[in-house]
Amino acid sequence: MENNKPTEHDITEVVAQQSAANPTENGVVMVINHGKVQPPFSVLWTTALYCAEIICASVLSSMYHKSDDVVWMGLTITFMLVPSVLTQLTLTFVHRDLGRDRPLVLFMHLLQMGPIIRCIEALVVYCQAGKNEEPYVTISRKIKLKHGRGLGPAFECEIGHSERKLAVHRNAFKRTAVIQAFLGSTPQLTLQLYATIQEKYVLPTRLALMIISMISIVYGALVCSVLAIQIKYDDYKVRMKPAAYLCMILWRGLEIATRITTLVLFSTTLRFWVVLVGMGNLFIFFFQPWVEFWARKASLPENIEKNFSKLSTTVVLCMVTFLYACINIFCWSAVQLDLADHDLVEKQPRWRSLAIYYTLRFMENVTLMILWYYYKSDFYEYICTPLLVVQLIVCYGLAVIFMLVFHQFCHPCRRLFHYNVEDCLRCSCCWKKKQSQPPENHARDPQEHASPDLTNHLTDRETDIVDDIMEAA
């Protein structure tokens, strides 16, 4: 005899269908969501990358010590410990453990094993979730997206204690993944690639560390892109498709690999100048948000953290801008900082900044490769250097193409853009065509070659979006 008793998931679907059929007066659909907690895969993945990189760096440092390579050993340990310490501080800060009686957790953080104990905590919370009915602690209100367009009224989901705890763990590990990627893995990969070229042979342990570091960097860049989308479109339920992730991996992987290879090759020939290039990039991207902040004559955001003084807030903002600068040295950060905003991120996408960044970065990479080709040593005489230069330039061009493809076809909120990549390219082509026409033609027919009106082009699209939002409100 079959058991027709509905499960928790069945109850969720039935209640959701009933609520969708009878929306509330304000157009909000209530969806009761019990026992549907997602596994903490991101926590496990970040912890695995952290442990793998620490182990490989430790083994490689021991090998450098045995071979009396003091410089390589010191730099390897530095790029291993500095991001590790920052990771422990970030996890402690997010979970607010300093004011709580948790000596074991704090001791694990002192041993640089904080991510491991946090991962175990997340797994315990996930295994215990759904066993006992628990009251909700907050309600999440989102608008569904279908084919990149707002669909129907907003829906509300009840979030229980277990789901909220897992959300805190996920957010904390996302921050640590970015810190580990761009303050640890990026300089580590640059150092080991430089050491490989200088010593003219590849150690298996060094190769393993380089591969793990590259995976960590690409994952950190993906986290930056996804976080930027979630912050900018916080009112919508954003879901990334596999095609979007694949396009982002190709975009970020080619961009980062080309950038690091260019800097390493340039440093093997002109060591002093590569320091100037790196420090110049760091200072430009570090002070750019502060210059915009001072130009607006804005004030520091309040309530970044309770019991924070202005000095503490300034220190936190300096750390954020430093991380922002380190990211932009190697790849596009996907966000623009707004130090006067509570979220510290500009909600509106700035296509002009994106275009300027990739244009200048492409020109910089080409210039560095040409200088390396001109001043290269005899070590590269057995390598087809012109082909290598062309390959690096083509790879960076492919990264830009995958970036455009992502924003045009794979972005989950592409229908919410005021104008997209296609509109910008069409407008640019029409502007160039207008500039190439003789003056007398413009005098005869001034409306024939007028630049396209992006507002009229997108009136129907924006009207549908506004209607969806008004219905949800």
DSSP symbols for 341-393: STTSB-SS--HHHHHHHHHHHHHHHHHHHHHHHHH--GGGGGS-HHHHHHHHH
- What would the mean pLDDT of 364-389 be, rounded to a whole number? 86
pLDDT at 430: 63
Q: How far apart are CA 391 and CA 406, in angstroms?
A: 22
pLDDT at 222: 94
For the chain, the average pLDDT equals 78
Determine, yes or no, domain membership for 337: yes
pLDDT confidence of residue 306:
59
Rounded CA gap, 207 and 220, in Å? 20
Tokens representing 34?
A: 């019990």
Rounded to an integer, what distance in angstroms lies between the CA atom of residue 155 and that of residue 153? 6
- Integer Cα distance of 32 and 20 in angstroms: 12
Neighbours of 297 (CB within 10 A): 7
Tell which of 239, 254, 285 closes a domain: 239
Mean pLDDT to the nearest integer, 129-138: 63
Do the domain assignments include residue 472?
no
| 366 pLDDT higher than 50 | yes
Residue where the block lists tokens 């608008």? 143
Indicate if 220 and 301 belong to the same structural domain: no
Parent domain of 370? 241-417
- Judge whether 413 and 244 are in contact, CB under 8 Å: no
CB contact at 8 A, 180 and 87: yes
Separation between Cα atoms, residue 261 and residue 193, nearest integer Å: 8
Q: Mean pLDDT check: name the lowest of 105-119, 187-201, 405-419.
A: 405-419
Residue with tokens 């050993």: 73
Name the percent of the chain lying above pLDDT 90: 40
Domain-located, residue 284: yes
Determine which of 154-168, 181-195, 232-246 has the lowest per-residue pLDDT on average: 154-168
Q: What is the pLDDT of residues 235-266, one digit of tens each?
A: 667 778 899 999 999 999 999 999 999 999 99
Given a cut of 60, whether residue 5 has pLDDT beyond it is no
Q: Is the per-residue pLDDT at 280 higher than 80?
A: yes
> Are 136 and 248 members of one domain?
no
pLDDT for the residue 140 = 59
Q: How far apart are CA 173 and CA 48, in angstroms?
A: 12
- 432 and 386 co-located in one domain: no
Does residue 89 sit in the same domain as residue 174? yes
Q: How confident is the model over 395-420, as a mean pLDDT?
A: 81
pLDDT tens digits, one per residue of 73-127: 999 999 999 999 999 988 888 877 766 778 888 888 899 998 999 999 999 988 8
Structure-token pair, residue 117: 């104990």
* pLDDT at residue 167, as a whole number: 85
Judgement on whether residues 373 and 459 belong to the same structural domain of the protein: no
Q: What is the pTM of this model?
A: 0.80
- Domain end, chosen from 198, 224, 239, is at 239
Tokens of 419: 């104008």
pLDDT per residue over 29-65, tens digit each?
555 454 567 888 999 999 999 999 999 999 999 999 9
> What percent of the residues of the chain are helix, what percent strand, and what percent coil, each to the nearest 5?
70, 5, 25
Of the listed ranges 107-116, 140-149, 326-335, 347-356, the least confidently predicted one is 140-149
Region of poorest pLDDT, from 15-19, 42-46, 303-307, 350-354: 15-19
Strand 236-237 relative to strand 136-146: parallel, antiparallel, unpaired? parallel
Residues 256, 217 contacting (CB under 8 angstroms): yes
Query: Do 209 and 315 belong together in one domain?
Result: no
- 2 within domain boundaries: no
Shared domain for 74 and 138, answered yes or no, is: yes
pLDDT in the model for residue 463 = 40
Number of domains making up the chain: 3
Residues 22 and 164 in one domain: yes
Of 417, 433, 449, the position where a domain reaches its end is 417
Identify whether residues 199 and 62 lie together within a single domain: yes
Gap between the Cα atoms of 109 and 4, Å rounded:
49
Residues 205-229 pLDDT 10s? 999 999 999 999 999 999 999 988 8
Question: Can you tell me the distance from the alpha carbon of 311 to that of 305, in angstroms, rounded to the nearest whole number?
Answer: 12
d(CA 331, CA 362): 11
How confident is the model over 295-339, as pLDDT tens digits? 888 777 765 665 667 777 788 889 999 999 999 999 999 888 888
Q: Which amino acid is at 223?
A: V
Q: Is 265 part of a structural domain of the chain?
A: yes
Query: Does residue 344 sit in the same domain as residue 437?
Result: no
What residues contact 391, with CB distance under 8 A and at least 6 apart? none
- Strand pairing report for 149-160 and 29-31: parallel
Residue 469 lies inside a defined structural domain of this protein: no
For residue 123, being part of any structural domain is answered with: yes
In this structure, the answer to whether residues 174 and 127 fall within a common structural domain is yes
Q: What is the pLDDT of residue 101?
A: 73
In percent, the amount of the chain with pLDDT more than 70 equals 70
Q: Is the pLDDT of residue 348 over 80?
A: no
Calpha distance 337→353 (Å, rounded): 12
**Does residue 81 lie within any of the structural domains?**
yes
User: Is residue 69 scored above 70 in pLDDT?
Assistant: yes
* Same domain (yes/no): 409, 431: no
CA distance 370 to 386: 10
